[in-house]
Amino acid sequence: MKSRTVSLTKRGFDFETFMWLFTRLSALAMYLCAFIGLVGALIMGARTQMNMADLIRWTFMPSSTHVLLNTSNQILQPDVWMTTFWKVMGSIFITFATSHGLHGLLSVLEDYNTIPWLRRTLRILVLVLTLAMIAIGIYVLWTS
């Protein structure tokens, strides 16, 4: 199998191409967020012997409610972890994850649907849903 590529000027830079690139770049951004979360959890959880489930949960989404209080380990107080830095990191992660995920939902829906008016409606619906989920997610993160 030989690889073939089409130059950007020949292909044109439309909505689809933009979202194709955005999906890849937001994935890379989320890798960076997860890496920072993993390193942060390893540093902060080192003294308290954080367990693997909490470590994984913090890696994928840094939120104090994701670190469950272990009754045998009273030193671990998740609220202390919830600094502004982690709230900002969580907000960035929510923004990328929601827009990446809901655009994925839209592209799956459009693979099985060729009715123009329904596609327009779904695009608007997914856009509204994305903005709403980002707003709700960030609200929950900063108030919980």
CB 84 within 8 A of CB 142: no
Give Cα 96 distance to the centre of its chain.
5
Exactly one of 8, 69, 88, 120 binds another protein (CB under 8 A); that residue is 120
User: Which of 7, 9, 14, 79 is the binder for another protein (CB under 8 A)?
Assistant: 14
28 is a site residue for another protein (CB under 8 A): yes
- Residue of the chain from 73, 83, 85, 139 that contacts another protein (CB under 8 A): 139
Give residues with Cβ within 8 angstroms of 134, minimum separation 6.
94, 95, 98, 99
Q: Name which of residues 91 to 110 contact another protein (CB under 8 A).
A: 97, 101-102, 104-105, 108, 110
Q: Is the CB of residue 54 less than 8 Å from the CB of residue 45?
A: yes
The DSSP annotation for 7-74 comes to -HHHH---HHHHHHHHHHHHHHHHHHHHHHHHHHHHHHTTTTT--HHHHHHHHH---GGGSPPPTT-T
16 binds another protein (CB under 8 A): yes
**Nearer of residues 40 and 137 to another protein, judged by Cβ:** 137
Binding segment for another protein (CB under 8 A), chosen from 23-31, 42-50, 72-80, 81-89, is: 23-31
- Residues of this chain that bind another protein (CB under 8 A): 1-3, 5, 14-16, 24, 27-28, 31, 34, 51-53, 56, 60, 65, 68, 97, 101-102, 104-105, 108, 110, 112, 114, 116, 119-120, 123, 133, 136-137, 139-140, 143-144
